[in-house]
Amino acid sequence: MDAFTDNPGWLIGYIITIVVVLVVVALVVPILRLAYSIGNEAKMINDSLTQAVHNTAGLSGLNTTIEHAEVIVDGLARGRGRLGG
């Protein structure tokens, strides 16, 4: 005799197992594709941020430039005041 015809519980169990596995695969595959897509985006974002750091590296000396400009402006103001202007 056939094991499935003698005990239909096994057949039902196998069918339920196959359905559960297919549902899990159907849910996991889109998640993995999304994770792959996010990984690619993260690489592009990181590259852009690295480029931004390189492009703005010159701004680190901006405070020094501002301080020197303030000294120059103060000197010009003193000179104008001495000249009566």
Domain of 35?
Answer: 3-82
Number of domains within the chain: 1
CA–CA separation, 58 vs 60, rounded Å? Answer: 5
Mean pLDDT of 14-32: 97
For the four alpha carbons of 12, 13, 19 and 23, in that order, the dihedral sign comes to: positive
Element of type H or E holding 11: helix 8-55
Please, what is the average pLDDT of the chain? Answer: 90
- Residue with the bigger pLDDT between 43 and 6: it is 43
pTM of the model: 0.53
Residues 6+ apart with CB under 8 A from 33: none
